[in-house]
Structures are given as C-alpha cells and as structure tokens.
Amino acid sequence: MTRTLSLPVLAQPSRLHAHIPPEKKEKCAVFGVWGHPHGARISYLGLYAQQHRGQESAGIAVSNGKAINAHTGMGLVAEVFGDRVLYELDSLGGKGAIGHNRYSTAGGSVACNAQPLLESYIRGQVAVAHNGNLINSDALRRRFEEAGHLFHTTSDTEVIIHLLATPQQQRAPDPLAATLRRLQGAFSLVFLFPDRIEAVRDPWGWRPLVLGKIENGTDKPYWVVASETVALDVCGATLVREVEPGEIVTISDEGVSSRHFAHKAEQPAHCVFEHVYFANPASVVFGQNVQSVREMLGETLANEAGVPADYVMPMPDSGRSAASGYARASGIPYREGIVPNRYVGRTFIKPTQTERQAAVRLKLNVIAEIVKGKRIVVVDDSIVRGTTTKAKMDQLRQAGAKEIHLRISCPPIQHPCYFGVDFAERSQLIAHGRSVEDIRKYLGVDTLHYLSLEGLLSCVNRPASHYCTACYSGQYRLDPTHPSTEVIIEDEQMRMFA
C-alpha cells in the first residue's frame, strides 16, 4: 500500500478481538466529505458516530487537490487518531477526505487491511473505503496473481484497485463504471481521487449509503456521504437522499453529479438485519428510522406470542427498542432488571470458555430484588451461537426468576451471510439444524418465540421482495457457492447494463 504520509500506524494486536461483540460483526462504515477546509476532522466525527459498525481499525485519507495522504491504524477511532495525528492529517488536506471503520469479514484482522486503501496507478492516486463483501474477489484475485500482480493486503477490497488499473478498464469510456460492473456482491464504496470523491452502491443496495450536505452560507455547500445518517447528524449535515443502487455520485468543486454503472436490480437486497441489529437506532436506513422499526418488531412480537407476565425486560442494550414496543403492545410493565457494566468488554480478553462466562457475568448484573419470584418476558434482538444468551438466562434463573419467556425480535438465524456480516460458521449457529424446542431446552427458558419472517417484513416499508433475508430463509439473491460465479457476474452485469 502506498502511504505518502509517514505517520505511525498504531498496532495493538493484543487488543484486537477484545473490542468486538463475539457473535455478530459488521463490515464496516464509510464516510466522505468534499470542500470542507477541515475534512479530516469532519471525517473523524463521522467515523466516531459510526463506531458501532466496526471497531477493529480506522483510517482517514485526505486530498489537497493534488495529492492524497492517509493514516490508518488498529483500534477505535479515538485510539487511532490522537490530536497530533489529526492535526497533521488535517493540515495536509483541504479539498476532500474519506474515512473507514473496519471489522473484517474477508481478509483477517491485520494492520495492512485497515482502510482506506491508498494506491498509485497509471492515472495517479486513489483511496478506497468499502462496506460490504465481494463474493467474486477470490476468483478475481487468483486471476491477477496468475498474471503476476502483487497484493499488499488480504482484503477483498484490493481487487477493486487492481481491476481499475488494468488496461482493459482504462480503455473503457468510463473506467470506474467498467470496474464496478466486474464486481459481484455487496459494496457501498467511497473513492477519493485527488480532484473528487466517487460514492458507489451495488445494484442490489445491500448496504446503506446516504448523501448529505452541510450548508455554509454560500451556494456551494460541503457535500457528505456516509453509511448511516447518524454520521450526517454529528457533523451538522442534512440528509439529501440515498445513493441509489447501481449509482455513482461524483462530488467535486463542480458540485454533485450522478451516473449509473448498472441498472438497479429488479429485486433489491437491502439487508434487513441492519434494522434488526446493526444500524444505530437514530439513523434512517433504507428510508426508515431504525428505532421506529425496532419498536414495531417488538409490538409484532407481542401480538404473535403474548404471555401473562409481571415485567417486560430488555436484554441491554440490544433488546431495548423491541422491548419497549413489546411492553406497549402487551400492556405489561417495562422494567430494567439486567444492568450492563459499561466498563467491561473493551479490554477483556476471553480465550477460554470459563473466562467468557465470567465476562458475561461481569458485563451484565442481574438485579435479584427485581426478578426474584417474577414472571419475566425477556426481549433480545437475535441469537447467533447461543452461548452468551444461555449464560444470561442462567443468571436470571439463579437470581430467582420464576418464569422466563424469551422473545427474539427476528427469525432464527440458520444460514451464514456472504454480504458483509460475519456470523459464525453454519455449524456454530444454534438455530442451524435445531428446532425452536431444542433451543428452548438448551437455553433453559420456559417459553421461546422468534418473530416470524412475515412479522419482520411487515415492519419495513418497502416491498418484502426488496430485502435480503438469506440468513433466516436460506434464499440467497446471489449464490456465492456457484462454481462459475464470476462468469455469471459478467453475463449478468452485461445484461443489466445493456
């Protein structure tokens, strides 16, 4: 990777996995701003607001109109960017900046994979930040390596720059569009060239990407792109619109322009799990406020599987929004009886099962005075492996809960995700090959109900066929295991663009 800035890359290998919720990981958050005199500082804010989407590494690349500099490192945004680093980076920019928070779904947790990736090619410099997962990157990389290309990272994102640099793409009337048509899978991308930002969303719209602007009293506002609207809020930007599936939005001194590299897929594949778990509740994702959707999931859950109880209790923090909806719909009082210890988890290394169980007990304290002798509906957003949930249920039982009725605000996760969410292996998913009754017995609860897929889809406002639900249904919009995936891609993309 070319780095024209000799700032230190902060590696903290002993803490890499300590930051991360063990079961669900998202790749990643992207951000970009053009025209702002302090692009690096604005990007820092945008990344900070999106820290929930990736805690493994962070990076910012800045352009002064002629050259791009970047700084990346392992850890949280605040760890990677101290005052001095941020000041230095900010003073090297002035035109545009892009940023990235990463959690790896492809490539591994190493410093060289931190983004934005910055490279030089025949047309100059380019930096890229990626949210999503390319399912044809292995095939593409193998072809490049056979042709003698050297890769600096193990990330799927690097193939994009190699593709862009090929004579074949460079001869195309629009090299970036030609490059994007070779990609298969989920990609919300932000490119920084010295003179512009190009923000891109795949034709299926798997991951969110929004365009906003910061008014500055002139007729040339500062333009911003981000994975989530919560990043716009924090830097004083207003939402303009989503970047459309198949669209390239160019932001430069000339303002904003748009073109399409492919038609929007007939059936988009917005990741419904963004609403269930990943996105910040304050964000508007796929045209809907996330908190409102989660409350509706809880209401629907109560309508599907009501049960007499003394309290509705959220699993903090993941079950709070759905629990409030469940309580409202059921008329059962909402009460918090499980209290998180906010100072545990960031630095707690858990190599063994015993230590992991101790970590769960440390992280969540059950208030025995509240739960003892009570019938409790516990609401959580999802169960992946089930080990953490079981530990929490055991704690409740030990504290004297009389009945535990577990309600989950999405269907059982039975299949892996190939489009940007790192669930466990199929064999490690508790719902894979097990009935709900088997899971109930394992967790030791009195009743267990997962929200139905129909119930989930009734809470989102776009047509049901416009959402990816593959981790629940096994119905993949693209088949990542097909041996001729890459060929299919090229044919499909050609058709889409014809």
Positions annotated as catalytic residues are 28
Binding mask 204-243 for ligand SF4 (x = CB under 6 A): --x-------------------------------------
# binding residues, ligand SF4 (CB under 6 A):
11
The correct pick among 297, 417, 460, 489 for binding ligand SF4 (CB under 6 A) is: 417
Contacts of 356 (CB under 8 A, 6+ apart): 22, 350, 387
Q: Which of 328, 360, 332, 471 is nearest to 410 (CA)?
A: 471
- Give the Cα separation of 158 and 271 in Å (integer): 23
Confirm or reject binding of residue 309 to ligand SF4 (CB under 6 A): no
Q: Which of 152, 119, 115, 120 is nearest to 32 (CA)?
A: 115
Binding to ligand SF4 (CB under 6 A) within 257-286 occurs at 271-273
Binding to ligand SF4 (CB under 6 A) within 3-62 occurs at none
Which residue sits closest to ligand SF4, CB atoms considered? 417
The correct pick among 106, 468, 478, 489 for binding ligand SF4 (CB under 6 A) is: 468
Binding mask 188-207 for ligand SF4 (x = CB under 6 A): ------------------x-
Query: ω into residue 28 within 30 of 0, thus cis?
Result: yes
Our CB check for ligand SF4 shows the closer of 280 and 469 to be 469
210 φ, ψ (degrees, to nearest 5) = -125, 155
Q: Is the Cα torsion angle 252, 254, 255, 257 positive or negative in sign? A: negative
Binding mask 106-145 for ligand SF4 (x = CB under 6 A): ----------------------------------------
The correct pick among 137, 166, 389, 469 for binding ligand SF4 (CB under 6 A) is: 469
Shortest Å, Cβ 460 to ligand SF4: 11
Our CB check for ligand SF4 shows the closer of 107 and 208 to be 208
Contacts of 440 (CB under 8 A, 6+ apart): 406, 447, 448
The correct pick among 419, 451, 485, 486 for binding ligand SF4 (CB under 6 A) is: 419
Helix runs in 147-204, H state only: 158-165, 167-170, 175-180
Which range, of 280-288, 377-385, 399-407, 414-422, touches ligand SF4 by CB under 6 A? 414-422
The correct pick among 42, 421, 424, 489 for binding ligand SF4 (CB under 6 A) is: 421
Shortest Å, Cβ 264 to ligand SF4: 17
Our CB check for ligand SF4 shows the closer of 226 and 271 to be 271
Our CB check for ligand SF4 shows the closer of 209 and 445 to be 209
The correct pick among 118, 279, 429, 471 for binding ligand SF4 (CB under 6 A) is: 471
Binding to ligand SF4 (CB under 6 A) within 65-84 occurs at none
Longest CA pairwise span in the chain (Å) = 73
Shortest Å, Cβ 423 to ligand SF4: 7
Our CB check for ligand SF4 shows the closer of 187 and 273 to be 273
Which range, of 8-16, 87-95, 403-411, 462-470, touches ligand SF4 by CB under 6 A? 462-470
Q: What is the chain's Cα-based Rg?
A: 23
Confirm or reject binding of residue 297 to ligand SF4 (CB under 6 A): no
Confirm or reject binding of residue 470 to ligand SF4 (CB under 6 A): yes
Shortest Å, Cβ 230 to ligand SF4: 19
Q: What number of residues does the chain have?
A: 498
221 DSSP assignment:
P
Which range, of 222-230, 304-312, 335-343, 417-425, touches ligand SF4 by CB under 6 A? 417-425
Query: ω into residue 116 within 30 of 0, thus cis?
Result: yes
- 274, HSE (Cβ side, Cα atoms, 13 Å): 32
150: alpha, beta or left, given left = phi > 0 and alpha = psi -120 to 50? Answer: beta
Q: How do strand 25-26 and strand 311-314 relate by DSSP bridges?
A: unpaired
How many CB atoms within 10 Å of residue 474?
11
Contacts of 110 (CB under 8 A, 6+ apart): 154
394 φ, ψ (degrees, to nearest 5) = -60, -40
Classify 270 as helix, strand or coil.
strand
User: In the block, which residue shows the tokens 């230190």?
Assistant: 8
Shortest Å, Cβ 290 to ligand SF4: 14
- Give the Cα separation of 482 and 469 in Å (integer): 19
Site of interaction with ligand SF4 (CB under 6 A)? 206, 271-273, 417, 419, 421, 468-471
